[in-house]
Amino acid sequence: MKVLVTGSAGQLGQDLVPLLQAHGHEVMGCDRQEMDITDLDQCTEIISGFAPDAVIHCAAHTAVDAAETDIDAAYLINATGSRNVALAAEKAGAKLVYISTDYVFDGMGTEPYHEYDNTAPQSIYGKSKRAGEILVQSLSSKFFIVRTSWVYGKYGNNFVKTMLKLGQEKPLIQVVDDQKGAPTYTVDLAYFLVKLVQTEKYGIYHATNSEFCTWYEFTQAIFAEAEDILGLKFTAKLEPCTTEQFPRPAPRPRYSVMEHLAIRTNGFQDMRPWREGLKDFLLELK
């Protein structure tokens, strides 16, 4: 297959491109320099020129707090940019994979969200990503919408790397213990995307590592596994705190655990538990 990946220099893109190549696919990785997704003509020209069988759209405005004040930028990239990629992919006859987020839900649930539960994003980031979903559904005849959460990997900045650093520098770290979700390792997500894109099992998918935890429990696991695998010594005392003690510009979902209904009903193997992914990530860092 010929696959074009947007956001190829991002956290997910940098794991996805080599994995697709390792599976024998011809890959064109496009980051901002190679293709400006906010320019429809450029998207059409580049995607038509490469003539891919599939486009995996990883590019996004993911600065959750910044989006609250720079609303235009969030919508320009997540909505308009996704529309441009969808139109260009459709014109080229390509399948489209749109990477979305747990932020499309209100986070007030107590049971894992199904793929077809009503969305109700609370932040500008969530609203702009939901707008992208709607445009993809409207404009693409062959689409996969893949919602994920709490993503971390070898490339770029993320929660795991931040905690590894702070744990060795700070005397005390307070981490919220009243927000639940599923940490997702980019390599595990990339493997799922490679399998998915080779099928015609179109629709919405929730793809995270399985099982869930709070941010505080995640941090406990990061410290425990890093001491074991990397031999690190953490000076920081770890304390749970509430969301109210840690105010942020953008509201965070209190509960963003997502049910993997579509993965099961379409016959895919579920993604492994998050703690196994974390161990492999730390081994990769080592």
Instruction: Enter the DSSP assignment of 177.
Output: S
User: DSSP states of 57-83 as a string?
Assistant: E------HHHHTT-HHHHHIIIIIHHH
Instruction: Extract the tokens encoding 32.
Output: 């901002």
Rounded CA-CA distance 11/263 in Å is: 23
Q: Let me know: does 259 contact 113? Beta carbons within 8 Å.
A: yes
Q: Catalytic residue at 205?
A: no
List, as one string, the DSSP characters of 94-141.
-EEEEEEEGGGS-S--SSPBPTTSPP---SHHHHHHHHHHHHHHHH-S
DSSP 22-70: HTT-EEEEE-TTT--TT-HHHHHHHHHHH--SEEEE------HHHHTT-
Which helix (H) or strand (E) segment holds residue 4: the answer is strand 2-6
Residues 6+ apart with CB under 8 A from 148: 99, 100, 101, 102, 184, 189, 206, 207, 208
CB-neighbour burial class of residue 273 (10 A; exposed 0-12, middle 13-18, buried 19+): middle
The residue annotated as part of the active site, out of 75, 98, 113, 125, is: 125
**Residues designated catalytic:** 125
